[in-house]
């Protein structure tokens, strides 16, 4: 089919810049989309490094000032893959310039910051999306379909974890390139906004609004050398975060995230328990959905391990033959494809900035509860 070119301006060349760039290159090759993404420009502060990134990924030009790129007439979409403290300013400027805006998660360092971003894109009427890519895991999309079909009946429990171990060493510094997630001024929070934001977004999508939370957080290493100042400074981010919550549908939930779970690099899990069925998923085995249906014949009742690779599973008809699985990078390709299809229909593909704000309202409540040691209501906006 004939496609209209859609010129992409990328801010950032790190891990997320690579995943996003790959997604733009692959989406139109595997999905029937109305637009052909064109890697028009990439922006970063280091001229030498951004030129190398542009050459490797096929960007046509480079910029070292995002303000210049946002104003370029030959760019249709601004993709923000830079640290959290840059999200709001870039997104607001891009929206005012009439650009489509895609932004890495969390949307803002706080809900107040995210609200300004939502107001900007809605006032400008531009397509927008937050990169909560785990919504595009085929097994999770299948779980969403099963929930929407009512196969679980009433939901009783929801539980989710995101466990890592990469910050355990007290010799690890904070701040600067690669370690900005440990600098509260840049990141906004620690694992609450970085890891639990994924868990929360998925929970809101699968199970509906969260009403109230009670939480605790911990910073295990209180001081670290800062890469930019060279001084030992207090650590302001949370190393671990756990909370209980109640959903609007009456279900109870537990959430936990940490960077201090030795032996876990990216253990992201979800389990849902309903009156009729249960399901569980694990990022380490992302192409499988564990499913239990109490309505099965008693003699054969038990957990099923469903291998998500067949043509009737979400997204899989666009990939390989049944039995062959896909990986992490494909979730970003799925997200780009869904975004392009929605733009072609003049619709908004989720998660929108408004969806990202909903997650930030929950993370704000979690951080507040950890300080007050009380149940806190989640703002509805």
Average pLDDT over residues 232-255: 98
Distance CA 140, CA 305 (A): 14
Residues for the chain: how many in total?
A: 381
pLDDT of residue 2: 81
Instruction: Report the half-sphere exposure of 144 (CA within 13 A, side-chain side).
Output: 17
Using DSSP's 3-state secondary structure scheme, residue 38 falls into strand
What values do phi and psi take at 15, rounded to 5?
-50, -50
Residue 381 pLDDT > 90? no
| Element of type H or E holding 369 | helix 353-372
Q: Tell me the mean pLDDT in the region 188-199.
A: 98
Q: What is the mean pLDDT of residues 157-182?
A: 96
pLDDT in the model for residue 201: 98
Q: What is the mean pLDDT of residues 270-284?
A: 98
When pLDDT is averaged across residues 115-138 and rounded to a whole number, the result is 98
> Residue 135 pLDDT > 90, yes or no?
yes
pLDDT tens across 197-214, in order?
Answer: 999 999 999 999 999 999
Please report which confidence band the pLDDT of residue 184 belongs to, taking 50, 70 and 90 as the band edges: very high
The Cα–Cα gap between 350 and 332 comes to 13
Tell me what pLDDT residue 86 has: 97
pTM score, two decimals?
A: 0.97
Work out the pLDDT band at 144, boundaries 50, 70, 90. very high
CB atoms under 10 Å from CB of 204, counted, come to: 19
The 3-state DSSP composition of the chain as helix, strand, coil percent (nearest 5) reads: 40, 25, 35
pLDDT at 133: 98
Q: Which residues pair with 288 in a beta bridge?
A: 307
Task: Say which DSSP state 379 is in.
Answer: P
Name the strand (E) or helix (H) holding 35.
strand 35-43
pLDDT of res. 1: 63
Alpha-carbon distance of 12 to 41, in angstroms, equals 11
Mean pLDDT computed over every residue of the chain:
97
The answer to whether 146 and 279 have CB atoms below 8 angstroms apart is: yes
> Cα(49)–Cα(70) distance, rounded to whole angstroms?
20
Q: What pLDDT is stored for residue 380 in this prediction?
A: 87
How many angstroms separate the Cα of 158 from the Cα of each of 200, 205, 243, 244? 11, 12, 12, 10
> Is the bond leading into 351 cis (omega within 30 degrees of zero)?
yes
Taking residues 353-375, report their average pLDDT.
98
User: For residue 157, what is the enclosing H or E element?
Assistant: strand 155-163
Q: How confident is the model over 96-111, as a mean pLDDT? A: 98
């Amino acid at each position: 089919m004939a496609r209209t070119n859609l010129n992409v301006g990328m801010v950032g060349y790190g891990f997320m810049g690579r995943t996003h760039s790959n997604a733009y290159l692959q989406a139109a090759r595997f999905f029937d989309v109305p637009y052909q993404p064109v890697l028009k420009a990439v922006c970063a502060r280091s001229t030498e490094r951004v030129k190398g990134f542009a050459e490797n990924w096929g960007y046509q030009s480079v910029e070292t000032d995002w303000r210049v790129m946002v104003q370029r007439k030959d760019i249709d979409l601004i993709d923000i893959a830079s640290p959290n403290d840059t999200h709001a300013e870039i997104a607001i400027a891009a929206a005012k310039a009439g650009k489509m805006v895609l932004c890495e998660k969390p949307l803002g360092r706080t809900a107040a910051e995210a609200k300004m971003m939502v107001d900007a894109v809605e006032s400008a009427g531009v397509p927008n999306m937050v990169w909560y890519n785990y919504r595009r895991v085929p097994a999770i999309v299948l779980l969403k379909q099963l929930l929407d079909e009512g196969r679980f009946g009433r939901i009783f429990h929801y539980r989710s974890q995101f466990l890592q171990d990469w910050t355990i060493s007290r010799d690890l510094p904070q701040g600067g390139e690669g370690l900005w997630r440990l600098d509260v001024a840049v990141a906004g929070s620690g694992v609450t906004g970085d890891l639990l934001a994924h868990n929360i977004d998925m929970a809101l999508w699968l199970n509906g609004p969260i009403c109230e939370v009670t939480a605790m957080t911990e910073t295990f290493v209180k001081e670290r050398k800062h890469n930019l100042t060279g001084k030992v400074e207090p650590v302001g981010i949370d190393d671990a975060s756990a909370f209980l919550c109640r959903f609007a549908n009456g279900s109870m939930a537990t959430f936990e995230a940490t960077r201090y779970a030795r032996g876990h690099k990216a253990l992201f899990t979800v389990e849902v328990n309903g009156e009729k069925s249960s399901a569980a998923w694990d990022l380490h085995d992302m192409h499988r959905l564990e499913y239990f249906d109490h309505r099965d014949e008693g003699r054969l009742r038990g957990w099923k391990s469903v291998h998500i690779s067949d043509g009737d599973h979400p997204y899989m008809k666009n990939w390989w033959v049944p039995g062959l699985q896909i990986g992490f990078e494909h979730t970003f390709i799925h997200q780009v494809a869904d975004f392009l299809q929605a733009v072609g229909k003049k619709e908004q593909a989720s998660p929108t900035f408004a969806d990202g704000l909903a997650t930030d309202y929950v993370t704000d409540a979690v951080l507040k509860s950890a300080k007050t040691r009380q149940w806190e209501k989640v703002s509805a906006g």
